[in-house]
Amino acid sequence: MITLAPTVTLWDAGEFITASKVLGVPHPPGTPLFVLLGHVWAQFVVLGQYAWRTNLMSACFSAAGAGCLFLVAQRLLAGEERWLRIGGAAAAAILSAFSFTEWQNSNETEVYTVATFSIAAICWLCLRWRDLRGTERPTHVLLLIIYIAALSIGNHLLALLVGPAVSVFMAYTLRTTPALDPAERRGEWAECATLTALWLTLIAVGLGSTILLILGGALVLGAAVACWMAGSRAFPFVALAVAAIGVSIYAFLYIRSGLHPILDEADPETWNNLLAVIRREQFGSRGIFDNPVYFPGARNPGRNATILTQQFINYFQYCSWQWARSLPLVGMVAVALVFTSLGFFGVTYARRSDAGITYLLGTVWLVTGFGLVIYMNFKPGFSLFWNQYQSIGQHEVRERDYFFVVSFQVWGVFAAFGLVRLIRWASRLYAVAARRGAVALATVIALLPFVFNFRAASRRHGADATVARDVAYNLLQAVEPYGVLFSYGDNDTFPVWYLQEVEGVRQDVTLINLSLANLEWYLRQLASLPLRPFDPAHAPAIYRSLAPPVPPSRPALPLTLADIATLQPFRPAEDQVFQSGPFALPIKKGQVLRTSDQVILYTIAANLGKRAVTFGVSSGRGSWLGLDAHVVFQGLVFKVSPHADTVRQWIRGIQGTMVDTARTRYLTDSVFQFGKLFSVDTIELDPASQQVATSFSVPFLELGNAAAIRGDSATALAYLRRGYHLNPSPQLAEIIRTLFRR
């Protein structure tokens, strides 16, 4: 709780919190289990803000997962003295919980701690199955494993990757300690085959793969025949029923989408749409043999040894982050080498102590580490290989270490076993004093991740603690009552959804995400979006006089469902002019007009002069359709104005557009929130938070430029210094020098 994020964070957290609050449908595959868990949890945990409560849920699942790994480690250390068994298991729990990626995930509302808990719980249940063999209860444990696995599909497919480990563990156990009764022996092997076949079927359901589903179904049928012949006739049918009950969590998406919640991504209210959500069709597909830095298709050169090597380098980079992320590179790598060595020592120790558990954990590590590197086929990471891949589109939009979090946790468990081996070695060879020293050293090593990951993993103490909420708040407050705000990416959309739907701030503003505006289901929802009243209590005082006496009566997007169904990208055969009152926008022959471009034009035509139409500062000029001469910057948005260059009190800013300096000054000085950004060096921020800080620098730079034009050097310098603090780039330093040369 000390490092827990106090509010919403960047990326998917805002969407998940919103979905939990309104029982909505987040992006494919919809994560219905996580949405329901978040909603129920927040109803019972009434302390703190809603976002803090769901963040706490992630932390509790992470702690529960560490507890399960404690039990697994304690079982492997059963032959040791009690103090060493408890201490080694505690070290395993600490190293798994405080590895960088797991700790960071546990501080925000994300699906990954629920997934890691599911895997850890299934690993512990495997040991319970082994203990209960020869009684009437092991079958019950297998059914519970199947249910947890099936239910976990509704959270994240990561949890299903424990399947091969369960099959390996069962097969090894049945082979090395076979039942004495031949009939019982055949029944156990048939149950193992059934579980393996069901796991493949569950993966097929999770991936939406028809081929895998047919193969899995055939294997389930074969396993059922084997169970029938072995005398375990009921097991395959009960197991299939239990799996179906778990998978039925996806009915939540179908039911809730039919009730049209405010957040209803991909609109899975029909079976075809639901299947598309499960298959993630919205995001396209990239084959395992494609080169990820190029578009998939016939011209894709294919995956080669170079890109595969780079992907493994990326994985090992993420491994090096886990144990001392806050240290400089040399120190971080040195600590990583220590834990790598301890892990190898731990594997050899574990193999001699309990080979079954070693194979269980080792298979989990292999599948969730190397296996995922091969299967996911990621582009180069955000922090590597820029000299070779210079386009931002050739890199992942963010670091993908969270996909491999389970492998990092398992290696932490092996490292704890390595510490136990170190203590045993010292105890056998040296005196009591040396043994005590070894225990002290092992304790210090086990606590290294807690000490050296604290600052990097914390979501509470850094400058980015409130940056997601701040960017949402500032964007919304820059828009006039009942205005339209165009956004583009996750980080200027999901936090806004959170602020509007969870905290109820500026619900009168219509947010249109231009990435989603190319999708028919999203446009249908925009066209029927309910209008909500302007609440002066949640808005700047200046807007109270600007609110129209009669609110708008129609949605911002003026299209019927029939219009939306026919909306397609097109190229004009000849030059055209888009006309809306005094506003004229030339469209050149052959210029591609995407669906989202047409949405912009229709929205402007319907609302210009009636309500503000704005672009968020991070939406990019590429979405303006040549509107540069018709926008004015105010606060953090560019407002469309047909006569922007004729208003005398506005000036031309450093971005080339007109600037409403009075409105920008009022918003920046009196309304906007910047959290702790001005109290620390923003260079230490992660890339996403740095981008937000860069956006926040724009109004300060524009105000500094305006003051410099007026000859007010002191005011100009004050604003420019604040802007440079948020965006300390060489390009910005040159702009500031240029301003003072004039």
pLDDT tens by residue, 521-576 = 999 999 888 889 988 888 898 888 888 877 888 888 888 888 888 888 888 778 87
More confident residue, 25 or 538: 25
Would you put residue 609 in left (φ > 0), alpha (ψ -120 to 50) or beta?
left
Q: Per-residue pLDDT for 344 more than 90? A: yes
Nearest to 657, CA basis, from 635, 631, 679: 631
Q: At what angle do helices 329-353 and 355-366 cross, to 10 degrees?
A: 140
Determine the pLDDT at residue 13: 93
Q: Per-residue pLDDT for 406 more than 80? A: yes
Determine the pLDDT at residue 434: 60
The alpha-carbon radius of gyration of the chain (Å, integer) is 29
Report residue 430's pLDDT band, with 50, 70 and 90 as the boundaries. Answer: low
Residue 637 DSSP label? E
- What number is the average pLDDT over the span 2-25? 93
Determine the pLDDT at residue 58: 95
More confident residue, 183 or 526: 526
Cβ-based neighbour number of residue 144 at 10 Å: 16
Is-contact 466 677, C-beta < 8 A?
no
Report residue 664's pLDDT band, with 50, 70 and 90 as the boundaries. Answer: very high
Q: Per-residue pLDDT for 578 more than 90? A: no
- What number is the average pLDDT over the span 576-582? 69
More confident residue, 489 or 61: 61
Report residue 734's pLDDT band, with 50, 70 and 90 as the boundaries. Answer: confident
Determine the pLDDT at residue 236: 83
- The residues near 315 (Cβ < 8 Å, ≥ 6 apart) are 369, 370, 373, 404
Is-contact 35 320, C-beta < 8 A?
no
- What number is the average pLDDT over the span 44-55? 91
Determine the pLDDT at residue 591: 78
Q: Per-residue pLDDT for 292 more than 70? A: yes
Determine the pLDDT at residue 184: 80
- The residues near 704 (Cβ < 8 Å, ≥ 6 apart) are 715, 716, 717, 718, 719, 720, 723, 736, 739
Q: Write the single-letter amino acid at 297.
A: G
- What number is the average pLDDT over the span 310-318? 94
* Percentage with pLDDT > 70 across the chain: 96
More confident residue, 339 or 221: 339
Backbone dihedral angles phi then psi of residue 627, each to the nearest 5 degrees = -85, 10
- The residues near 239 (Cβ < 8 Å, ≥ 6 apart) are 142, 143, 146, 194, 195, 198
d(CA 50, CA 498): 10
Paired residues of 580 in beta bridges: 583
Look over the chain and give the mean of its residue pLDDT values, rounded to a whole number.
87
Enclosing H/E stretch for 80: none
Determine the pLDDT at residue 357: 94
Nearest to 165, CA basis, from 343, 348, 365, 350: 365
d(CA 669, CA 703): 11
Specify which of 487-491, 499-503, 627-631 reaches the highest per-range mean pLDDT: 499-503
Specify which of 104-108, 177-181, 599-603 reaches the highest per-range mean pLDDT: 104-108
Q: Per-residue pLDDT for 432 more than 90? A: no
Q: Per-residue pLDDT for 437 more than 90? A: no
Q: At what angle do helices 405-429 and 329-353 cross, to 10 degrees?
A: 70
Least confident of 348-352, 420-424, 468-472, 584-588: 584-588
- The residues near 439 (Cβ < 8 Å, ≥ 6 apart) are 87, 423
Is-contact 631 657, C-beta < 8 A?
yes
d(CA 514, CA 487): 6
CA end-to-end span of the chain? 52
Report residue 597's pLDDT band, with 50, 70 and 90 as the boundaries. Answer: confident
Determine the pLDDT at residue 263: 92
Q: Degrees (nearest 5) of the Cα angle 572, 576, 578?
A: 115
Least confident of 39-43, 568-572, 644-648, 730-734: 644-648
Determine the pLDDT at residue 331: 92
Determine the pLDDT at residue 456: 87
* Percentage with pLDDT > 90 across the chain: 43
Determine the pLDDT at residue 372: 92
